[in-house]
Structure 1
Amino acid sequence: MSSYVIDLDAERREVLYPDGIPVKFRGEQFIFPSELPAAALDPILSEDLDLVGLLGDVISSADGDAGIQDVIGALFRRPSLPLKFLEAIRKTYAILLEGQHQDFLDRKPSVPDYVRLTTGLARVYGVELGKLFRLGASSGSDSQTSNPTSPATTASTPDASGFVPDNPASSESVD
Structure 2
Amino acid sequence: MLTYLDGNQLIDQNAIHENLLNNSVGPFPADLGKNINYGIYDKSTVSLIKGKTYTISCKSNGNLFGKAFDATANTSSFSVYFYTPDHSNYFQVLGNSKGNSLTFTMKNFSGIWVLCMQYNGNPTNDGNKFPKVEQVKVEQGNKATSWLPSSQDLADVISKMVTGEK
- TM bracket (short chain): under 0.3
| Larger RCO, structures 1/2 (Cα 8 Å, 6+ apart) | 2
Give the TM-score, by structure 1 length.
0.21
User: Which structure shows the higher helix fraction?
Assistant: 1
User: Which structure shows the higher strand fraction?
Assistant: 2
Give the TM-score, by structure 2 length.
0.21
Task: Indicate the structure (1 or 2) with the bigger Cα radius of gyration.
Answer: 1
